[in-house]
Each structure stands twice: as C-alpha cells, then as structure tokens.
Amino acid sequence: MTGSKRVVVVGHGPIGQSFIEKLTEQKADFKISVLCEEPRPAYNRVMLTQYFQDRDGDKNDQMKLSYWSEAQLKEAQVELVYGRAVEIDRAAKEVVYKLNGTATSARLSYDFLVLATGSYCFVPPTPGMTIPAKKNPEWPDDPASRPEGVFVYRTIEDLEMLIAAAGKGAKSAAVIGGGLLGLEAAKAVYDLKLESHVLEMAPYLMPTQLNEAAGSCLTKKIEALDIKVHAGVKINEVLLEGERAVGLKVVEKGAAEATDLKVDLIVVSCGVRPRDELAKACALEMGSRGGVKVDSGLQTSDPAIFAIGEVASIGGNFCYGLWAPGVEQADTLVKNLVDGAKRVEYFKSDLSTKLKLMGVDVASFGRDESFWFKRQFDGKDLSVRSLESFNELDGSYRKLCFSADGTQLIGGLLVGDAKDYSKLLQLSKKDDLGGKTAESLAFGKPAPGEAAGAAADGGDGTGLADDDIVCSCLNVSKADVKKAIVEKDAVTIPLLKKCTKAGTGCGGCCTPVGEVPRVLAATLKAMGKTLATGICPHFAFSRRELFDIIKVKNIKSFPEALETVGKGEGCELCKPIVASILAGLWNDHVLKEGRDQIQDTNDRFLANIQKTGTYSVIPRTAGGDISPQELIAFGECAKKHGLWTKITGAQRLGMFGAAGHQLPAIWKELVEAGFESGHAYGKALRTVKSCVGSTWCRYGQQDSVSMAVALEDRYKGVRAPHKIKMAVSGCLRECAEAQGKDLGLIATSAGYNMYVCGNGGARPKHATLLASDIDEETALKYSDRFLMFYVSTAKHLQRTAPWLEELPGGIAYLKQVVIEDKLGICDELEALMAHNVANYKCEWREVAYDEELQKKFRQFANTEETQKSEQIEYIDMRKQRHPNTYDPPDITGPALFTKENIGLDWEWVFAGHVSDYPKNGGLAVKHGTAEIAVFHLPSHDESTRWLATQNICPHKQARVISRGLVGVKPDGQITLADPIYKTIYDLQTGNGVSHPQLNLSTFPVKESSGKVLVQLPPATELAAAFELQAAEAAAKASFKPPPRGSHPDIKILRYSDGAKPNIDW
C-alpha cells in the first residue's frame, strides 16, 4: 500500500467493494484496508440463488459470484483483513477487530473510517425462533442463536448450511416472508427440491412494492410451480422437539383456530435491519429508524467516520435496502474524499426495481419515493389516475399510474411481463408521455389516431433512447454502453461488463434478452461490424454451422478442420467441440489418429476423472438387465484392484479409484466377462432406465426391459453436445421416471407414448409429449430422427431441454420436423444414425487388445515403474476404502522453480523417447518421487517445441497437469487447461491465466538423439521442495485433514432392549 491518508472500510460486501473499486480507480493518495468478516472477499449477493448451480464456495475468491480475488485486491494495493470489527475507538482513531475463527484481537488505525456493514436478517420475536441464552451481541446473524432447523438467507455460509440440511434428508421447508428477500429464499428452497411453503403476514406477496391485484397475480404464478403460498397468515410459535424446529403453529387467513404446519426446515427472510451495533457502541448519532445518521456527504456525527449502503440512514430518516442506492452513495463519498468535502451531495435514490422472482418478472417503478411511501398505486390518491390490464392468456398484470390530466406517467407495477420496464421507467422521469397515450402504454399497443412520431431510439431498433437506463442496478445508460463499444472496443458482453459494470448487479440486463446485448448488436451493426458468434477465435462459426461444414466437406480430423475452415492451432474451447462433432458424425475411435489430444480428459482416458486424479469405471448394463455371473465378475474385478464400488446416481454399477495406468487391464477383465464401455465418461448416451415391465409386474402394459435394452444397444456410443439419458416405463405408473429424461417411453395398451427433452439435475425439466400410442418400430424411427436433429443443431454442452426452449416453434415445430418431415431431412437423419450404429465398436475392447493404444495409458514416459499419485489419503468407511472427504488447500504465490533460474546442481534427466510423445500433448515424467509434465508441440520452433512444468496442479494439488488440454491463442500464448477443474496456465511461463495467484514451476527441455531430456534439481531436493510448499499452504490456510473425513458415518438411533415403537396403523 502507498499513500499518506489511511482509509479503513468495515464490511466487504457489494457496497464496500464498489467503494474500493471507485477509490482505487482515482489513483489518489490513500492507503486502503478492508475488514471482511466472511471467509472470502466480496461477492454478488444479489445473485445468491446462482450459487445453487455453481456451489463453488470452496473456490474462496474465485467463485462465479466473486468480484475481485485476493490477488486483484493485492495488485490494487488494498489490504484485505479477515476479521470481525468489535469496537470503534474514536479517540484513538482505531478499529478493534477479532481475527476470523479466533479470539485474537488486533487494531487498525484510520484517518477516514467507512462503515459498509450492511444489514442482517431480521428474525421476528416469535416464541421458539431464537434461543435467548445464546444471543450473540457481536454477531446478530450468529446461527448458534437459533434452534437447529431455523436458517436465515444472507450469505454463502447460510446457503451451505441449507444445502447440508437438505442433504441430510429434509423433505420440506417453510420460508417466512413473501417480500423480495423472502421470494429469493423461496427460490433457494425450491432449487433444493424441497416441498416449499411461503408464509406472508400481509394479505398478498410483496406488499411493499405491489398492490393486491399484482400480489395476487404473482401468487398464482408461484403456486403454479407447486409452491404453497400462505398469505395473511399469523405465526404463533415455532414447534420444537428439544432444540430442533419441526414446524410452525399458524393461523391461516380466515381461520379461527391455529393449526400445525409440519416442516423440516424454516428459513427466515422477512426483512433486514442495519448492522449499526458498532456505531451505537461508540455513541455515533443514529437514525430515527435505525442505522447511522449521515448528512448529504455521507458523513456521520464524527467527521472522520462515514457510512454507505444499508447501514446509512440518510438525514437520519431512511436506510435504503437496495443495491443501486449504495453504489450511488459509494460514488458520492469517493468524489468527496478525493476532491474535498461536500463537493458532491447525496440526498436520495430511485427505488424502482426489476427482478426475476421464481422465474417471474416483477417490476415496480415510480417518479419519486412518494410512489411507494404514499402508495400512489393503491388508488387512494385522487391526484393519481390509473389504468390496469390483466392478460388471461399469459397471466401477466400491468398497472400504470398517471397524473390527473393523463399527461405524465407517475409509476407502475408489472408482473409476468416486464420487457417494457426500462422504457416506462425513463418515461416516468419525464414531463410528458413521449408522444404516446396513456392507453397505448397501459395496453401495449398504439391507440387509434396516435401519432407515430420519430423513433426514440434514433432508428437503431433497440427501442431505447440514449439517456435510457439499461442497467438500473449500476445506473448505466444506453449512451454509456455505446461509448464503451465505440471508444473502448468493448465488443463482447464480458468486456462491456468490465468497462461499464453493467450486468454485475442482478445480471438481468446482460441476459440474451436483456438490453445490453440489444444495444451491442445495434451499435456494432451501425459500425459495420458483426457480433462474434464463433465458438472461439480459431473458428468463426457456431457449433451448428461447424457441424454442417464438417459433414458437407467430409472433414475427418482436427488439423483438417483448422486448415479448411479455421485458423491457428486450436485451444481448450474448440478442440473438444470439434472432437464431439467428429464423433457424432463418423463415430471413429476417439483415441486413434491423434484424436486423443483434442478430447477432454474423460474421453481421452475413456473414464471419468475424479478429484484425486484417479478414474471411475462404469460398464454398460443395458436397461439395468444383468446376470448373476456378471455381478460376480464385476465384484471380483473391483476387489482384485482395490477399488471402491457403488450403485451410481444413474443406478449403474461403478468402481472408483482406478489409476490411469490400471485402466486397460481392468477393461480387459470386464470385457472378457461380457461387459462393454458404459460411456459414463462421454457426452453420449449414459443409460436407459427401466422398470421390470410386463415381464414381472402385474400392471405392466409392455415389455419395458426389452425396449430399454433395444434403445441402449442401438444408441450406445452416439456422441452428442451433452449427455443423454433415457428411460422406459412399463405402464402409466411411471416407475422408470421417463418424463424426466431426454427421451422417455411410457407403455400404453396400444404401444408407447414418447416424451422428449426432460432432465433432472440442477435445473430439472419435465419432458414434453412428442407422440402417442406408437409401436416399437415407430418409436425407434422417431428416436433416430430426434437424436440426430439434436446432435446436428444444438450448441456445445446444451442439454435437450434448453435446446427445445430455444428451438423456434418449440415442440410443435419439433413434431413437424421429426414426425411430418417438414424440412425433408428425415431420410438424412436416419442415415446418419444408421452410420453411427454400424460403426460402433466398444472403445474399452479396442484398447484392451491393442498394445499401441495401451501405451497411451502408461503412468510415466521414462519408466515402467508406477507410484501412488493421489494427494489425499485413503480411509476405511462402511467396509470399503476411499479418499478422505477433504480437499487440500490451493498453493498460491510464485512458482518454486523457473527455467530461467537454473541451479548449479541441476542435471539433465531422461524423460522418454521423442516417438513416445503425442503431438500437441503431454506425458508425465518420474524423478524420484516427484513428477514433471512434459509437452511436445512439434510444429513450433525450438524455443517452444518442448515445454516442462511441475505435474502438481496448484489448485487442490492433484498430479494431473500432464493430462491437460493444450491450446494456442491467436497472440501465440500457449495455454494448458488442467483436466479436473479447467484452471488455465501459460505453458511457457507457468503463470496462472484464469487464476493469477496459481503458478507452475517450469524447467528446461531438449531432445537429443531421439531422447527427451529435462533439466531438474536433484530428485530428493525437488520432492522436498514441493512437500514443503504444500505444508506451507496448509499452515497458511490453517488446514488440517480430519482423521475420518468431514462427513463421518451418521449414527442411526435403534430400539434396544426389545422396545418397539408404538405405531397406530
């Protein structure tokens, strides 16, 4: 840090981070420190529900929700301190804090103190909601102060606790609060697939922002998701069993007596309160309704202390609970600190907001705060006149409020359809209706006789004027976005986010249908440019376009594709996409003729890589049909090789923990026992689930097992943009869950009903009916067409459900293509599938009996010796051995060794023969117990033809770097994507690209007389250095492996002494 004035920020949330970013941009004379009480730097709390898709909290400062990493803060000369502030010593100008997770206190001195402490979740004083004896005065959100099963919704840790509770068998949850925060929490509960209840004390949802009609409309849309809404409810108490919550005693709207609502989890999200305990304790003047009173310069009653965000009570009257006001306050404070006190004044912010709640667009906007404070949308203000519209077709609601003479828009409420929000918000700030009439605005179409007038967007088709706000979270206008595109060459959405901050709030403006992509496309068109649509810089085509080109030109290899329609040498993005297309079209063995070096590691090793760098082996059991002899052979193989066995999530047999060099021998044993590859590693057909059907079940309509086996035998090995799962149910009872699969058949008395484009997983989707009562032959014909149409037109890594959602015309169009042959391509689709089926060979069998292919699985290039390479020790649990459940900490900081700084005792070590190395790929080299990764790029000059790094990936320490995917960027940078977590490194320098704090050691390499040689420190020295580096990383992170793992066996209570439960049947 540099600078003469010290600024200390207490609270590293979104607003504290916004202040830090704005202050560092000024390059002013300040030393900046920030106190962060969470275990990671600031992250996007507005998009917290996104965490249920990512679940990447273990990445600390590298989550998708993260703003700046620790390395970026350090580069900006910001001191990040993990600790909770407990006292402000105003006389000494010091903040007393406790280091996170300890009782150790320390102090930070300041010249200026900025309170950005935000707010905490309000937990109502309902009996049983908290444990008074455990209340923590220093931490209002302390989970220890609540009974087991009662949660709040505010931080990553809150979500982790919710996820953990759901994982322990919770089936149902109640969310207390039907406002903005409550519905966000309800989305979290819904994403956890729990039976969901929303309890709101007001007569309808979102009572602060909406009227009863809008709230009721929102209720209907949310109830359509099978979420139970209890509006107008009174909560009497939390039902407890010991110190565990088991439900709520409630009085439903209109009921005379209380009833018990039994739930496993309770999530409290019914409002927030300012985190003002520090300010109270040091006698700062407080706001009338809580928070720290600040003036128009955001200054408190102490001239050296300022407050921004949810803790700042503006004029002592009101604390804003929204993101945008906090950002505006941060901007004001920065300008005043840099330019001088009160150069800029802050008085109020716009309370308008647009959100997507439970998938429903909801917006509330107004001319000023009177729209909400005086509830001008309720119809009681005679100076305000309103027009309402309710669309019964899509269930949307719109209410616009106008001045008494109808010449000005005062505000409005939108539910279900908020696409006009930006336009209406801007209009509400103007003195007229912009040439429109009240009727046309309210009903969304021109009124009779309405003048056309000049286009407000200048004719670019965006429907937005230059001063219209496209990002209300960060107050970014259309003009700001256009300026960034034209003057800063920000021609992609990520670049626009970086330049303008648009989309870094709720993210809605940067979605494919948001305002920012619209402005980007229009601006580029006006400049004579086009929006880049290629899969990467090496191919200026979408996956669909590339599929057609490769098919028409009969391209059979990646080099041929580059030469014909691409440029450069390829990268970690385009190689797997082209590999998938080649496999989907021609179905040649993925490891032959150099195709192994363009595969993701799973396809390259024909097995799923696990976090230890070992692999799972999952053979195909078509339709789940398996003989006793096959079961025995599977068990004997796993026992022989010491592998952990499990029935997988897809209900297949799986063995885990196989080292790469063991795979060919394991496959040979399985192949000889009658098994074949299950393609659990590929973007291919995984499994066809089935019930026992008419073979055994008294309800069975058709032989579902035989049909499932027929499907699986036909489509095994077919490569696709993403994995494919199928199922066949023998009757309408649907035991095989066919309506949750990419393709599902449900037996009827007349044949089968075919469902398509469903899936489970993080975003479950119910499948859609494609055809009814079809026979087996027709089912296979439609399946051929459907699958090949999907394979040939979907985006890379796009499941069938989102593919169908993006397909123009949806399911109706898909029926026309697949059943009616509207496009005249059904014969071609069937021929493509027939070629795939005819060309199928078991990939495992090919390796098991091919010595050349087996060489690709050697552990080391320079020796036949093998060694245990896992970075996690094994433990015994439930009669089996498996890795402990922790992950080693990341190894951050500079690399230990570089090829530019060679020690005097370094020696040239044999690293295998040149002929052993794949083109544009790597192999591992053994040096004592240490491992090195060596890469061969034969088309490069001598300086980069051979490259060597450590084999340990600094991210979680797996020894897998040699198995990574090599790429070359257009600027010549040679990159490597690690095979497990896809961390990107510069292979020449070893520097982290995606994570700058993660770096690889590099070593000199040369070839001599057909041999590859690497210059290395002595083996014992090298191994000791890497071990010491790992130990220091563990010490830095206070990491100590648990003796039995972080998830020990769960103890199950049993009845003893002959006692039996008293069950009233």
Reported as a single tens digit per residue, the pLDDT across 658-702 is 999 999 999 999 999 999 999 999 999 999 999 999 999 999 999
Which helix (H) or strand (E) segment holds residue 339: the answer is helix 323-339
Contact 470, 509 (CB under 8 A): yes
pLDDT, average across residues 954-976: 94
**Residues sharing a CB contact under 8 Å with residue 866, sequence separation 6 or more, in sequence order:** 659, 661, 859, 860
**Residues sharing a CB contact under 8 Å with residue 400, sequence separation 6 or more, in sequence order:** 386, 387, 409, 411, 412, 424, 438, 441, 442
Task: Give the pLDDT score at 114.
Answer: 97
Q: Distance between CA atoms of 372 and 392, rounded to whole angstroms? A: 27
CA neighbor of 710 nearest in space, from 770, 787, 800, 776: 776
User: DSSP letter string over 920-986?
Assistant: TEEEEEEETTEEEEEEE-TTS-HHHHEEEEESB-TTTT-B-GGGSEEEE-TTS-EEEE-TTT--EEE
Phi then psi dihedrals of residue 344, to 5 deg? -125, 140
Task: Give the pLDDT score at 740.
Answer: 93
In sequence order, what are the beta bridge partners of 106? 97
Query: How many other CB atoms are there within 10 angstroms of residue 636's CB atom?
Result: 12
Q: Distance between CA atoms of 252 and 196, rounded to whole angstroms? A: 16
Task: Give the pLDDT score at 1054.
Answer: 45
pLDDT, average across residues 989-1011: 93
Task: Give the pLDDT score at 963.
Answer: 96
Task: Give the pLDDT score at 1057.
Answer: 46
Q: Distance between CA atoms of 606 and 584, rounded to whole angstroms? A: 16
Mean confidence (pLDDT) of the chain: 89
| pLDDT greater than 80 at residue 761 | no
Task: Give the pLDDT score at 682.
Answer: 92
The structure tokens listed for 496 are 């626009």
Tell me the three-class secondary structure of 490-509, residue by residue: CCCHHHHHHHHCCCCCCCHH
- Give the range among 279-288, 835-844, 1037-1046 with minimum mean pLDDT: 1037-1046
Contact 405, 418 (CB under 8 A): no
> What are the helix and strand counts (H, E) for the chain?
29, 48
- Calculate what percentage of the chain has a pLDDT beyond 70: 94
Task: Give the pLDDT score at 773.
Answer: 95
Reported as a single tens digit per residue, the pLDDT across 219-246 is 998 888 889 999 999 999 999 998 899 9
Q: Distance between CA atoms of 500 and 477, rounded to whole angstroms? A: 9
User: DSSP letter string over 672-722?
Assistant: HTT--B--TTSSBEEEEEE--GGGT-TT--S-HHHHHHHHHHHHTT-B-SS
pLDDT, average across residues 920-940: 96
CA neighbor of 582 nearest in space, from 615, 608, 618, 557: 557
Pairwise pLDDT comparison (761 vs 808), residue with the higher score: 808
Strands 353-357 and 360-366: antiparallel
CA neighbor of 1016 nearest in space, from 896, 900, 905: 905
Strands 1002-1003 and 946-950: antiparallel
Reported as a single tens digit per residue, the pLDDT across 795-804 is 888 999 989 9
Confidence of residue 518 (pLDDT cuts 50, 70, 90): confident
Task: Give the pLDDT score at 102.
Answer: 83
Contact 1019, 873 (CB under 8 A): no
| pLDDT greater than 90 at residue 718 | yes
Tell me the three-class secondary structure of 219-267, residue by residue: HHHHHCCCCEEEECCEEEEEEEECCEEEEEEEECCCCCCCEEEECCEEE
Task: Give the pLDDT score at 94.
Answer: 96
Pairwise pLDDT comparison (456 vs 568), residue with the higher score: 568
For the chain, the residue count is: 1065
Confidence of residue 454 (pLDDT cuts 50, 70, 90): very low
